[in-house]
A and B are shown apart, each in its own frame.
Chain A
Amino acid sequence: MTAGIAPGITRERAAPRTATGAATASRGLPTALALLTGSLLTLVGLTWDVQWHTDVGPDTFFTLPHLFLYAGSAVAGLASLGAVLAATAGQRAGRDPDPVVGGRPIAVLRVFSAPIGYLVAGCGAASFLLYGLWDQWWHGLYGFDAVIDSPPHIGLLLSVMATLVGTVMVFAAAYRQTWGRVGTVTSLGILAAFSTIVVLGFSNVGGPVDAVSAALSWLMVVLVVTAVGFARKPGLAVALAVALGIIQAVGWWFSPWATHVYADAVGLPIRDYIRGVPVMPALMPMGLVVVAALVEVFAVAARRGNRWLPAVAGALAGGLVAGFQGVQNAWVYGYAVPPVGDLAPTVVAGVVLGLLAGFVGWRFGRMLRLVDPGKA
């Protein structure tokens, strides 16, 4: 990885940096907070937007929720750009980039290097804004269909995912600081909350397996196992699940409330056949804390060197998440819980995907440690 640092740049640490103090420790905080604000704006916008489309309708393109979505990406993009510029300016002045600020620096265009977390977040934000053009064109062709799984929508969502992954990397790089730990938990929670909507891209997959629940279990297990793989001590995965729970609780209240207030403000009627369920919060798995705690138990042994335990934990977690999702949907939308026979194929898919997710997630977690290789 050190090969990424460009030749001609001194690798010796500047003198003031060796004397690490409180000032250095919180140096990356303002930019990281700006990035987190952007991520939060996007999440708020999306939760609200999904509810808006369900309860009111896709009446105008530029609704306030859409503005939140776009402004979130713009804020995240500006923050990332600021961090990249600060890093390159620092290098021009002869300072070595500080990995605590946004993660390990990498050089893409072989002259300057920039913190990887901010690069990923910035590219995600830019890609989101550019996807907007395709989305507009698509709507011009097919009307305001307001389906979440149109190609430009999925492109938009994946761009946001990239920004959120960048955010996680930025905070993970500062994990030794308190704000880094808090930020890692928060940004992982946001990422988990956001990924629930991405899986709706699988809504049209038929067959006995509920593809949405299976895909959701895959993403959740990847995140939970990444958390335990990254953390050197137990607790991060449970904290992630708690963060998701808080987002779910707040969203449960917020999204219908904001939708009604906004509809009132712009004078649009609420549809009279709505179910009154907060759509996006209802997708978030409610039992993730239990699953995460289970994975933590396995992780204790896995950290001692058991290589196949993460995959086993993942399989178990995947089956649990996938199976419980069917029960949760039935409970939230008020229909009878499907019989075990109907849930079984989805659970099996969850186990298989979870096995893979556990295997991959553990390695993702170890990779995430690399964003800050400075200290052991």
Chain B
Amino acid sequence: MVAALVLLLGGAAPAAWADGGPVGGDLHVAQTLGDRELTVVVRRVDGAPAPVSVDVVGHVGTAAGELRLRVVPAGGRVFGETAVRVGGPGATSATLSVDRFGPWELELDDGVNTARIPFTVPERVTPAWERFTYGGFVAAGLFLLLALGFALRTGVGRGTVLAVAGLVVAVTVAVTAALLSSSVPVAAPPLDGSRPPVNMAVRAVDARAGAPVALAVDLTDASTGRPVDDLRVQHAAFVHLVLVSPSGVLTHVHPVRVRPGHYAATFTPGEGGRFGLSAELSRAGAGVQEVRATLDVAGDPAVSTVVPGVGPRQADGATVDVSSGPLVAGRAVTVAADFGGPSDLQPWLGMRGHLIIVGPLPPDAPVGAAAVAAPVWAHAHAMVPPTPGAVGGEPDETVAAYDPKVDFTFTFPQPGRYRLWFQAERGYRVITAPAVFDVPADPGGAP
């Protein structure tokens, strides 16, 4: 009877699949909204109705102005709207609220462009053991009251003994369920999923050197032709679009999601000619993929000024010292960029530093067009070291505490001329330092 009571209270519900881990997390996503490069952080939402905290991080050169933030549930009207003032480097916070579980969109509107960032307010599933723990303690409360009542009424009688036994059983069940909960396996989503590749079409109307160009990036499924709307935030962006100019100038933008399968970014080309584009993205349930495209810009091409080899160079107002170990094709080498000054680099796109490598390139051909055909287009990362005290949390961009020297280990697969771009953030400014390396063949023979 006693055991049945506890079992009824605890085990009444069918075993729901346990989900003990964190549901969702903070969403860090870089957005090139119009001519502003912003990082939007949507903090984890716990339950509904609940507040949603949104941080918008601006960078050096972010134009001052007002952004309107809206949260819209799927199939519903705008639920909340607020305005944030951005302008210059640093974070601005806003608080909105959500009223239901399920898919939502956060709209960022600068008056001309609108970005729509999907986020989910997850509903919690109560695991079976939790019901047992809970039911056990509630039953314990009932039995305790009963036992006290019986004790005062009949002393140590049959009823009292029964109630005390119930109390002991209930507490035992509750504590056992709670203590065993950590060993209850959690149903994990299958990890061996896959998705077809994407096709990318990049369109720009009237692209000319020196003027802002609105890029429209359309992504379609390579198997079904349908718009692709299952992009995961990967290294803090839906799409990392890297553009390489004919003279070898690299620009890194993060197109905003306009509607399913359609992304947009603004970019100002410094010269004319054929640009090489590469998009890095990741579909839900699949790995990261890279797609390339070209963009033709009216105007005259510029000439590369990058001197091949290591040594100090000027980049975005900083002196960057590029160094490298012995360069040999097929052998891992560590290359480094020292941005100088104190340890105050900020994590950009969740990383201390980024290195983009394209090659081998023909010596005198324009870089943009050659890059599209290059056998190697790589993107290496320098990780953020774990923060003392914090446990696995991703520090946001406001943490300026990292070593100015960032190093990367990479194996150049083939001999030839490579272009490299080292990127890091300091003072809310992304510094891009270009380099050109000539990698000789391994004298001991090809691997």
A–B touching in complex (CB under 8 Å): yes
Q: Is the CB of A125 within 8 A of B48?
A: no
What is the size category of the interface that chain A forms with chain B? 35 or more
- Closest chain B CB from A153 CB (angstroms): 14
The residue that B178 contacts in the complex, of A57, A62, A109, with Cβ under 8 A, is A62
A143-B50 contact in complex given A85-B164, A271-B393, C-beta closer than 8 Å: yes
Q: Are B147 and A270 in contact (CB under 8 A)?
A: no
Q: What is the CB-to-nearest-CB distance from A160 to chain B, in angstroms, rounded to a whole number? A: 13
Measured CB to CB, the nearest residue on chain B to A270 is B390
Interface size class of B (residues with CB under 8 A): 35 or more
Measured CB to CB, the closest approach of chain B to A240, in angstroms, equals 29
A77-B140, A269-B393 given; name 6 further pairs at CB < 8 Å: A67-B133, A74-B174, A85-B151, A126-B145, A143-B50, A267-B21
Residue A61 is within 8 A (CB to CB) of chain B in the complex: yes
B154: Cβ under 8 A from any A Cβ:
yes
Task: Give A62 to B127 CA distance when docked, in angstroms.
Answer: 10
Interface: B156 (CB within 8 A): yes
Any A CB within 8 A of the CB of B44: yes
Specify which chain A residues have a CB less than 8 angstroms from the CB of B330 in the assembled complex. Answer: none
For B36-49 the 0/1 string (1 means CB < 8 A from A) is 00000000101111
Shortest distance between the CB of B391 and any CB in chain A (Å): 5
For B19, give the chain A residue with the smallest CB separation: A60
- Nearest chain-A residue to B123 (Cβ)? A143
Q: Is A59 interfacial (CB-CB < 8 Å)?
A: yes
Q: Which residue of the partner chain, among A109, A114, A132, contacts B141 with CB atoms under 8 Å?
A: A132
Asked if B20 is at the interface (CB within 8 A of a chain A CB), the reply is yes
Q: Is the CB of B160 within 8 A of A85?
A: yes
Instruction: Select B399's contact among A59, A109, A272, beta carbons within 8 Å.
Output: A272
The reply to whether the CB of A122 lies closer than 8 angstroms to some CB of chain B is yes
17 examples of A-B residue contacts, CB within 8 angstroms: A57-B44, A62-B129, A62-B181, A70-B133, A74-B171, A77-B140, A84-B151, A85-B147, A111-B154, A112-B155, A122-B148, A125-B144, A126-B148, A129-B142, A130-B138, A130-B142, A143-B124
Interfacial residues, chain B to chain A (CB-CB below 8 A)? 20-23, 25, 44, 46-50, 124, 126, 129-130, 133-134, 137-138, 140-142, 144-145, 147-149, 151-156, 160, 164, 167-168, 171, 174-175, 178-179, 181-182, 387, 389-396, 399
* Proximity string of chain A (130-155) to chain B, C-beta cutoff 8 Å, 1 when within and 0 when not: 10110010011011111000000000
A142 pairs with B47, CB closer than 8 A: yes
Known A108-B152, A109-B152: A81·B47 in contact at CB below 8 Å = no
The chain A residues found within 8 Å of chain B, CB to CB, are: 57-62, 67, 70-71, 74, 77-78, 80-81, 84-85, 88-89, 91-92, 107-109, 111-114, 119, 122-123, 125-130, 132-133, 136, 139-140, 142-146, 260, 263-264, 266-273
Q: What is the bound-complex CA distance between A85 and B154, given in angstroms? A: 10
Residues of B within 8 A of A123 (CB): 145, 148
Cβ B152 vs Cβ A67 within 8 A: no
B439 to chain A, nearest CB (A): 39
Give chain B residues whose Cβ lies under 8 Å from the Cβ of A92. 155-156
